[in-house]
Amino acid sequence: VNVTQQPRAQRTRQSILEAAGQVFAENGFVGASVEEVLTRSNTTKGALYFHFRTKEDLAAAVIEEEETVADRIAERELVRDAPPLEVLISLSERWASEIQSNPVVRGGVRLIVERRADPSRLTEPYERWEKLVAGLMLKAQEQGDLRETTDPFLAAELLVAAFTGTQLMSHLRSGHRDLMPRVRTMLELLFAGFVPETRAVRFPGAVER
């Protein structure tokens, strides 16, 4: 294999991926046209079909990258030695910020939301989020930061659903521009019901925006 060319190949692949992310985010899978991706990435069919065998393949790559980013963020937050609910907060805000700034992530998110009954796909991303959140909720309950009466698993499910709904609303109303404040107030209101009256969650300053 040629080695000197690899950097250029990687750049090409990346720019295709980014363009695809945008187009998928705006139009969904069926609504997206390969031609549009070509135009935005300033490449040609030859290039695209060299890197990705089909349009489905391209979508899968977008999702994969999005998942990788998600994992990286999750890992980075999980190792922090902070109260679990605070981890949950900064995790949510980091993720929101990523959605705002990274087109590939935005595309992946839309593709996942849209996903038809294609069960042969990668392990459901939502389940992974739910498991991760549930873990934090459990730890929080052990430390007395989650009410005894609140089921940690159901709380996790709700948080994921509410985040998804919030992200959707922000997408529809402002094209994700007001995502951060929406996520912030969502968390505040939710946690008001999760946390015992005697405790209070510390909300750090918003990451950005």
**Residue of 5, 195, 209 lying closest to 96 (CA atoms):** 209
Among 82, 157, 178, 199, which residue sits at the site for its own copies (rule: CB under 8 A)?
157
Contact yes or no for 106/22 (Cβ under 8 A): yes
Is 206 one of the binding residues for its own copies (CB under 8 A)? Answer: no
Is 8 one of the binding residues for DNA (CB under 7 A)? Answer: yes
Is 46 one of the binding residues for DNA (CB under 7 A)? Answer: yes
Cα(69)–Cα(142) distance, integer angstroms: 29
Contact yes or no for 186/166 (Cβ under 8 A): yes
Among 26, 28, 40, 47, which residue sits at the site for DNA (rule: CB under 7 A)?
47
Exposed/middle/buried for 194, CB within 10 Å: 0-12, 13-18, 19+?
Answer: buried
Q: How many CA atoms within 13 Å lie on the side-chain side of 130?
A: 13
Among 31, 35, 68, 71, which residue sits at the site for its own copies (rule: CB under 8 A)?
31
Among 11, 131, 144, 189, which residue sits at the site for its own copies (rule: CB under 8 A)?
189
Cα(179)–Cα(195) distance, integer angstroms: 24
Complex with DNA: residue 22 or 43, whichever CB lies closer: 43
Among 26, 28, 34, 201, which residue sits at the site for DNA (rule: CB under 7 A)?
34
The binding site for its own copies (CB under 8 A) comprises 26-31, 113-117, 124, 126, 147, 149-150, 154-155, 157-158, 160-166, 168-169, 172-173, 175, 182, 185-186, 189-194, 197
